[in-house]
Structure 1
Amino acid sequence: MRYREFWQLVDEVLGSAHGRVLTRELVLQRLGDRTPEQALDAGIDPRDVWHALCDELDIPDAQRWGDDRYRQAPPRR
């Protein structure tokens, strides 16, 4: 997951205003007692940060990846 994708999911799944507050202020033990923003700044993989945030907020797996209607399927190999 890229940083851009992380922030898109924050905006889509949590709402832009609420999501940005959570990433700035919610301290997560799973991220070493850091906020998601601090964890990203420390070099923790955005996917790990996203899962930690979703787990803390009890977001079901089916809702973690936003609205799939607007996402393209990955290219076939």
Structure 2
Amino acid sequence: MRLSEFERAVDDEFGAAYGRVLVRDLVLTQLGGRTASAALAAGAPARDVWLALCAAMDVPKTRWYGAGVPEPRRR
């Protein structure tokens, strides 16, 4: 998962405004007590951060892997 895919997945699942707040402020124990933003800045893979965020926010597992799919390339 690329960072742009992570950002799109967060926006799709939580909405742009609330998603930014979660990424910036929610401390995730699965990421060593860091926020998603801090984990990404420290080099954590975007997919790992996405899955930790999904688990913390009780996102149904059916939506954990479908979000963040890249948009088709424009011709």
TM-score band, normalised by shorter chain? 0.7 to 0.9
1:60 is matched with 60
Identity %: 48
Deviations 1:15-71 (A, max 9, x none): 1000000000000111011000000000000000000000001101222334x8xx6
Higher RCO, 1 vs 2 (CA within 8 Å, ≥6 residues apart): 2
CA-based RMSD: 1.8
- Which amino acid counterpart does residue 61 of structure 1 have in structure 2? K
- Which amino acid counterpart does residue 17 of structure 1 have in structure 2? A
- Equivalent positions of 1:24-63 (< 5 A) are 24-63=24-63
Tell me the TM-score normalised to structure 1 length: 0.82
Deviating beyond 6 angstroms after TM superposition, the runs of 4 or more aligned structure 1 residues are: none
Name structure 2 gaps, 5 residues minimum.
none
- Aligned pair count reads 70
**Relative to total residues, which structure has the larger strand share, 1 or 2?**
2
- Equivalent positions of 1:9-24 (< 5 A) are 9-24=9-24
